[in-house]
Amino acid sequence: MKTKKKKKVFVEGPISPEFIANSIAKHQTKTTIGAHDIFLGQVRADIIDEKTVAFIDYSTYQEMAEDKLDEIREATFEKFDLTCMHIYHSLGKVAAGEICLFVFVSAKRRRVVFDAITHIVEAIKKDVPIFGKEVFEEEGHVWKENQFEG
Amino acid sequence: MIAEMADCLEENFSSTEATKVDDLVAIVTAKYPSMANLSFKVALNNRLAQSSDQLGERDEIALLPPFAGG
């Protein structure tokens, strides 16, 4: 059996707009691609019990998370005819307004990237053990729990 | 969240006390009663576990609070 090296997903701190721009630029040499789709998760300054979220401190159960992300990656490649796929998620502090998740998929045509990106983002939210401590501007914190829309 | 509640990150349990995932969860929630109100999943050696899964020596069990990725 072929052993594959796990791809690096976790980055310390927020994902910068420059990093995202560079990722797009790197794909300009791949001229079989006709469509990209990008999902960016951004930290919201939610107000909970009259306190405002200043930042989320992300942590993970890393080995399991990386295994799960590998499974998601493989299943997505099997299901959708993609040319490439990149997933990055922050660990540590990410302030309100900053980017914590960057998913980038590319294919020959548009339809497949729309479907693939939804599939990947939903799977990350549901199946990958990533935890988020929402720390308030005022004082204290709560633990975030992903919501799933109908 | 759970580590905060138990005030520790890792703990060892003897496999003679717990032979199944269920038993271990019962021991842990008895030790940390406030965890009884928490929703968490259990991972056994990096895979989500069923409550009836058997435990062996050196198995790694993780109690995972709700996921919040993205």
Range of the domain at A123: 10-143
Which pLDDT tens digit goes with each residue over B45-62?
A: 999 999 999 998 889 999
CB-based contact A89 B68, cutoff 8 Å? no
A144 chain-B contacts, CB cut-off 8 A: 66, 68
pLDDT of residue A150: 57
Complex ipTM value: 0.88
Tens digit of each residue's pLDDT (9 = 90 or more) over A53-109: 999 999 999 999 999 999 999 999 999 999 999 999 999 999 999 999 999 999 999
Beta-carbon pairs below 8 A across chains A and B: 61
What CATH number did the domain enclosing A98 receive? 3.90.1170.40
CATH fold of B2-64: Ubiquitin-like (UB roll) (3.10.20)
User: How many structural domains does chain A have?
Assistant: 1
Q: Are B1 and A131 in contact (CB < 8 Å)?
A: yes
Helices A62-79/A110-127 angle, 10° precision: 150
With an 8 Å Cβ cutoff, are A145 and B64 in contact?
no
Structure tokens at B18: 């717990």
Give per-residue pLDDT as tens, A4-55.
667 899 999 999 999 999 999 999 999 999 999 999 999 999 999 999 999 9
Q: Which residue has the higher pLDDT, B10 or A65?
A: A65
- Rounded to an integer, what is the distance from CA A129 to the centroid of its chain? 13
